[in-house]
Amino acid sequence: MTDEGKRAPVQLEIDQPDPATASPTPGDAPVTIWSVMKERQLPELVLSANARLVLKKRYLRKNDQGEPLETPEEMFWRVAKTIADGDLAHDGPERAEATAIKFYRLMASLDFVPNSPTLMNAGRRLGQLSACFVLPVEDSIESIFEAIKHAAMIHKSGGGTGFAFSRIRPESDQVLSTQGVASGPVSFMTVFDTATETIKQGGTRRGANMGILRVDHPDIERFITCKTDNDRLTNFNISVALTDAFMRAVENDGDYDLINPRNRQRSSNLPARRVFNRIVQSAWKNGEPGVIFLDTINRGNPTPHLGEIESTNPCGEQPLLPYESCNLGSINLANMVAGDRIDYDHLKRVVWDAVHFLDNVIEKNRYPLTRIKEQTLANRKIGLGVMGFADLLIATGVAYNSEAAVTTAEAVMAFIQQESKAASAELGKQRGNFPAFVGSVHDPANGGGSPYMRNATTTTIAPTGTISIIANCSSGVEPVFAISFIRKVLDNQELLEVHPLFRKTAEAQGFYSEELMKRVAEKGSIASFKELPDEVRRVFVVAHDVDPEWHIRIQAAFQHHTDNAISKTINFPHSATAEDVANAYLMAYRLGCKGLTIYRDGSRETQVLNIQKKPQYPQVEPRPRPDRTVGITEKANTGCGNMYVTLNRDDYGFCEVFAQMGKAGGCASSQIEATARLISLALRAGVKIEAIIRQLMGIRCPSPIWQNGEQVVSCTDAIAKTLNRHANAHVTTVGSEMGACPDCGSAVEHEGGCMVCRSCGFSRCA
């Protein structure tokens, strides 16, 4: 055993001593995962180097100096022991001990990994284990600011929040209490966004919000375009809630009514096709808004007697009633393959153990609000999903963009749905049904099946960005992002990453080489490599090899057998038209999807395209610096202190920038000087100042600050904003963090309705 494995037992951050990890009584040996592994002959934990890096950076307990206090093995044991103690309310301590071993095997085998808050917080003081929350927003100042307060508490605990703003009266509507006019839902979203920005700075996970507005709200056109400038509402994903009535009007090229939520009366009407086209155009431009199909969601509402669903969590896969929460976890389908076939016996065991695990999470969770605890315990929703689907297809010789893949998706998810319901029914028989069972769709009196059901929902397919890195598998139900790519590591080193199944295949067939992999890394795809075997190119497809139709058909296949919804991104090539996006929305609606998120490659201008071959442009020599220049100097407030930015011009236009911190020395000052020198070089080489501003504006650091009513998110951003004001460029940034990871600078992937960096584990969504 390594020295690391011989360390002292972990002391859990819990209110009461945990017998499995607290200091032993005299004469007793400490119970640690190392002693358990030796006694039970548990296998060693096998993790990739990248998985260990992400765990160290984002999941393991740390001391005040940021040094890990536990190993990955100890983390999984901390989680397993804490969640297993959920058995104590129903069984004896002996059963809980056996369950802890079972849960450890479940996670350490990487067959199943729970959502990030459970890994981070189980067995620690915070103890908040859920990823998804929805809060109500009523049409009053009191309700709006209560929601902001509650959201802050949730974000502080590591959760994400969803809001429906559809109940807020529209802009310019009357306010009787003040004889004034309303500012509308979009203006209040800005307040929510600012609160999130403030709270997230001190957290382990960044706060994230979903903002939803019904398509029949009078402010819908303003809402559709509220994120056209991606400097605004940076902590929100937004989605339009489309109704059946609206979709029929679109298909019939008719009008539809707008309803004032204040009095539920018709305020006006709009051409449905015009509004639909605005949604399409905005999504084509920068990926937002997404859409959810509200009536489709409510047809699947398991507890309609408790109210209608109006909102979802930040990535859209978890529709929830107000004050509900849900804990999620994902099965690694890459591990459910034996030979070239799906091992359904193994999958069944994992499903049953995972349902047990997620139900116990409800017992051990420390809820941020009493109302959330009450509503969650009433419905006991869990969300068991999958990751590694693309890997499963490759291992079984099935191309993602094929009928066989659709059939596989249907079969696998139907099996998981069936077995998760059976496991929940067995738990309901042993421990009792969820309290709102009577009147639910599960109630035999309402045409339901079994008289027992522990959980109102059992299945959700969530984005699995960071946990799929831990499991070393493809994310969610997405295709493989790239066959080979360059990953940035410490000290700006770059490592060549190759999909393990491709490496295995290439080595077995004798065509593997580092030179080939470097060529593949330039494109990510092998579709154009005619020298490779046709069968290999057929099976090893990546996201941008897959036409949108196949993306949607795969999503629909999973949705047919999923209680909640699917978090997935439909990738379009840069050449896609707005009509292509419109057809995708219509197809998704007709196939029964509950929502859709699209992303057109390169639609955010500053995306890092690290898997495409670089275009060849002629090199230019910058003009010499003139002997005499004229310009201005302006003070800018930044999170690092006061900075002074000088912008000079000569006879040809702007030619140089100087920037200096108020205090000398330090890494920040040297980096600022380097930035200014490169800007000056670019200006004298003929690069348009607007292009420079677009590249720099919006780059984020951990210390944003407000200045004169606008947010300055880094020193670089402050320089860009100064240039923008004095060059009269009037540039609006398109959000550089959507292409380059704000933590490590690597390229990000748009998948599962979210943005994820597979180099360091950064996720845009909580």
- List pLDDT tens digits, range 190-228: 999 999 888 764 444 566 899 999 999 999 999 999 998
Angle (deg, nearest 10), helices 49-58 and 72-84: 60
CB 77 within 8 A of CB 49: no
Q: What is the pLDDT of residues 266-284, one digit of tens each?
A: 999 999 999 999 999 999 9
Please give the C-alpha separations between residue 554 and each of 389, 591, 706, in angstroms, as whole numbers: 10, 10, 44
The three-class DSSP label of residue 474 is coil
What does the mean pLDDT of the chain come to?
87
- The pLDDT value recorded for residue 264 is 95
Q: Could you tell me where the DSSP H helices lie in 444-600?
A: 465-471, 500-509, 514-523, 534-539, 548-559, 578-590
CB 203 within 8 A of CB 121: no
Q: How does residue 606 score in pLDDT terms, banded at 50, 70 and 90?
A: very low
> Which residue in the list 132, 226, 315, 765 is annotated as catalytic?
315
The mean per-residue pLDDT over the stretch 364-388 comes to 97
> Which residue in the list 121, 313, 472, 724 is annotated as catalytic?
313
Q: How does residue 662 score in pLDDT terms, banded at 50, 70 and 90?
A: low
Res 611 pLDDT > 60 = no
Q: How far apart are CA 528 and CA 506, in angstroms?
A: 16
Question: Is 252 tagged catalytic?
Answer: no
- The pLDDT value recorded for residue 147 is 97
- The pLDDT value recorded for residue 174 is 85
- Return the exposure string of 235-267: e unless at least 16 CB atoms fall within 10 Å of the residue's CB, then b: bbbbbbbbbeebbebbeeeeebebbbbbeeeeb
Q: Which of 459, 452, 448, 457 is nearest to 431 (CA)?
A: 452
Name the DSSP letter for residue 118: H
Res 82 pLDDT > 90 = yes
* Chain position carrying tokens 């969300």: 383
Res 108 pLDDT > 70 = yes
Res 733 pLDDT > 70 = no
Res 535 pLDDT > 80 = yes
| Percentage above 90 pLDDT, the chain | 63
- The pLDDT value recorded for residue 199 is 79
The mean per-residue pLDDT over the stretch 75-82 comes to 97
Res 36 pLDDT > 80 = yes
- The pLDDT value recorded for residue 11 is 35
- Find out whether the peptide bond into 30 is cis, omega within 30 degrees of 0: no
Q: What is the pLDDT of residues 508-530, one digit of tens each?
A: 999 999 999 999 998 899 999 99
**Residue 344 host element (H or E):** helix 344-364
Q: How far apart are CA 530 and CA 33, in angstroms?
A: 50
Q: Picking from 179-188, 353-362, 387-396, 412-421, which range would have the lowest pLDDT averaged per residue?
A: 179-188
Q: Picking from 17-26, 312-321, 462-471, 683-692, which range would have the lowest pLDDT averaged per residue?
A: 17-26
Res 389 pLDDT > 80 = yes
- pTM equals 0.81
Question: Is 593 tagged catalytic?
Answer: no
Domain 132-320 has CATH 3.40.50.2300: no
Report domain extents, the chain.
Answer: 1-109, 132-320, 482-541, 630-733
Q: How does residue 734 score in pLDDT terms, banded at 50, 70 and 90?
A: very low
Question: Is 640 tagged catalytic?
Answer: no
Res 42 pLDDT > 90 = no
Res 18 pLDDT > 90 = no
- The pLDDT value recorded for residue 97 is 92
Q: Picking from 192-196, 229-233, 677-681, which range would have the lowest pLDDT averaged per residue?
A: 229-233
- The pLDDT value recorded for residue 10 is 35
- The pLDDT value recorded for residue 610 is 40
CB 380 within 8 A of CB 486: no
Residue 737 φ/ψ, nearest 5 degrees:
-70, -10
Question: What is the β-pairing status of strands 265-271 and 341-342?
Answer: unpaired
Res 587 pLDDT > 60 = yes
Q: Which of 263, 271, 281, 272 is nearest to 243 (CA)?
A: 272
Res 63 pLDDT > 80 = yes
The mean per-residue pLDDT over the stretch 121-137 comes to 95
Burial class (CB in 10 A: 0-12, 13-18, 19+), 414: middle
* Chain position carrying tokens 């010789």: 397
Res 28 pLDDT > 60 = no
